[in-house]
Amino acid sequence: MACGAMDLSVTIPVGIRSPQQRNLKFVRVKCSVSIADNAVAVSATGGQGGRPWKVSDARLVLEDGTIWRAKSFGASGTQVGEVVFNTSLTGYQEILTDPSYAGQFVLMTNPQIGNTGVNIDDEESSQCFLGGLVIRSLSISTSNWRCVETLGDYLSKRNIMGIYDVDTRAITRRLREEGSLIGVLSTEETKSDNQLLEMARSWDIVGVDLISGVSCQAPYEWVNKTDDEWEFNSNGRRGETFNVVAYDFGIKHNILRRLASYGCKITVVPSTWPASETLKMQPDGVFFSNGPGDPSAVPYAVDTVKELIGQAPIFGICMGHQLLGQALGGKTYKMKFGHHGGNHPVRNIRNGQVEISAQNHNYAVDPASLPDGIEVTHINLNDDSCAGLAFPSKNIMSLQYHPEASPGPHDSDPVFGEFVDMMRRVKGNA
């Protein structure tokens, strides 16, 4: 059909939702439609002359010189940290509040994050200590019965930077090839790429005590158990109580909840709490928690562990395991890119069973450095690294990974019961 040339210009409201906003925001968009013979051209411009959608406004500059353009959410500014990738499919809120991520940017390999928002139950500590969050796609809507806030609003309030619309697969491949890399996240246009690169190259996480920045300042009691509706394993325990002193090197709440569910009455103490004060409390057991950073950079904590060995049954998780490894005479080393995820297979050498485990660590204990008598009880089946230790004659057990999950599978939860059994045995013999 032939028709003559015609120009039409209208202004219409269009609903746009940025990832930080729960509600649609309407902007006026001017549309021009030109109809000429056999051709229709449509163009649209934002009402204020700019584009109504978000454009890249952030950079991630890695120490290897690569620059990744992205869109920002959460806080703005400039932040330096070590980039690690986490392969968990769920549980971003627990990851954000795990104090062991202090000094690190967490890159989630799951491409869509934010779709369940944030709730009041899934906090693993009272704060977000991580450096920032790197994701592929930020969900434009939140849908969950527990949701109280969007992820973007949550991060803004806690002053944590996030970026999205960045190729997380490409960065992950780079981290797998090069190992963990230091990076700088910035929304500041005034800073040049070279300035940010210089910042990344002059910062380091190795040899730094990060525990002192996340530990509690004074002792406190912990009584909360896992809520009945989420409980699955520790029911049927005998109603006994065991007094446990738990060293807070960056402790996750679910470790405390699981210990409480298994019958422990817990006093949480700061990382610098003297061993002599712990012994005055006459605990049935001592627990050494997870925590951020380099385990060889906290000799004061290793000394405390040494003083407590043989005085009471001991259980350590992650950083706690690494401190025990050193206190028993071994050494730790930095892994290429560590283990961060919810599906790491671990073999329990004692019973031959394989557990699918939650993991978050960049360092490990070198089993060859351990003296005789120390047993390697668990092996990570992905790379044969040491995943658990025991020193039965001193009633010591430890795991490199996270039996409390949060997030992750619950296969390893019975280990809390093993700690309780050890305390019962020692108490019975006392």
211 DSSP 8-state letter: G
Amino acid at 224: N
CB of 248 to ligand GLN, least distance (A): 12
- Owner of token pair 């930095």: 334
- Assess 360 for contact with ligand GLN (CB under 6 A): yes
Q: Residues touching ligand GLN: how many (CB under 6 A)?
A: 12
CB 276 → ligand GLN: shortest distance, Å? 25
Q: Is 375 a catalytic residue?
A: no
Q: Which stretch binds ligand GLN (CB under 6 A): 86-94, 172-180, 344-352, 359-367?
A: 359-367
Query: Tokens 């490199």 belong to which residue?
Result: 400
The conformation of residue 102, written as its DSSP 8-state character, comes to B
Cβ neighbours of 339 (radius 10 Å): 24
330 lines the binding site for ligand GLN (CB under 6 A): no
Q: Cα angle vertex 417, ends 357, 119, to 5°?
A: 55
Nearer to ligand GLN by C-beta: 293 or 407? 293
Residue 355 CB, shortest distance to ligand GLN, in Å, is 17
Our measurement of the distance from residue 26's CA atom to the centroid of its chain's CA atoms, rounded to an integer in Å, reads 36
Q: Which helix (H) or strand (E) holds 96?
A: helix 92-96
Q: Which amino acid is at 215?
A: S
**Residue among 82, 94, 123, 404 flagged as catalytic:** 404
Per CB under 6 A, does 100 bind ligand GLN? yes
Indicate whether 125 belongs to the interface with ligand GLN (CB under 6 A).
no
Least distance from C-beta 287 to ligand GLN, angstroms? 13
> Could you say whether residue 293 binds ligand GLN (CB under 6 A)?
yes
From residue 188, alpha-carbon distances to 60, 79, 318 in Å are 11, 10, 36
Interface region with ligand GLN, contact rule CB under 6 A, candidates 23-31, 43-51, 285-293, 298-306: 285-293
- Helix (H) / strand (E) element for 169: namely helix 168-178
**Which stretches of 233-280 are DSSP H helices?**
253-261, 275-280
402 is annotated as an active-site residue? yes
Instruction: Tell which one of 128, 181, 298, 319 touches ligand GLN (CB under 6 A).
Output: 319
372 to each of 303, 315, 393, how far by Cα in Å? 20, 20, 12
Question: Does residue number 110 form part of the binding site for ligand GLN (CB under 6 A)?
Answer: no
Closest to ligand GLN by CB, 104 or 116:
104
User: What does the alpha-carbon distance between residue 401 and residue 253 come to, in Å, rounded to a whole number?
Assistant: 15
Determine, following the binding rule CB under 6 A, whether residue 357 of this chain makes contact with ligand GLN: no
Query: Per-residue b/e over 185-202, b at no fewer than 16 CB within 10 Å?
Result: bbbeeebeeeebbebbee
Q: Does 363 bind ligand GLN (CB under 6 A)?
A: yes
Q: Which of these ranges, 174-182, 237-245, 284-292, 390-398, lies near ligand GLN under the rule CB under 6 A?
A: 284-292
- Does position 423 interact with ligand GLN (CB under 6 A)? The reply is no
User: Quick one: which of 80, 106, 113, 318 contacts ligand GLN (CB under 6 A)?
Assistant: 318
- Count H helices and E strands in the chain, helices first: 9, 22
Q: Is 276 exposed, middle or buried (0-12, 13-18, 19+ CB in 10 A)?
A: exposed
Write down the least CB distance from residue 291 to ligand GLN, Å: 5
Residue with Cβ nearer ligand GLN (362 or 377): 362
The HSE-up count of residue 377 (CA atoms within 13 Å, CB side) is 19
Is the separation of the CB atoms in 221 and 109 below 8 Å? no
Selecting among 94, 128, 253, 318, the annotated active-site residue is 318
- Residue closer to ligand GLN by CB (options 117, 291) is 291
Q: From the CB of 100, what's the least distance to ligand GLN, in Å?
A: 3
Which listed residue (215, 271, 362, 385) binds ligand GLN by CB under 6 A? 362
Instruction: Tell me the window of 151-159, 221-229, 296-304, 358-366 that interacts with ligand GLN (CB under 6 A).
Output: 358-366
Which of residues 250 and 283 has its CB atom nearest to ligand GLN in the complex? 250
**Which of 254, 24, 275 lies closest to 121, judged by CA?**
254
CB 110 within 8 A of CB 84: no
Residue nearest to ligand GLN (CB): 318
- Which residues are at the interface with ligand GLN (CB under 6 A)? 100, 290-293, 295, 318-319, 360-363
Please give the positions annotated as active site.
Answer: 318, 402, 404
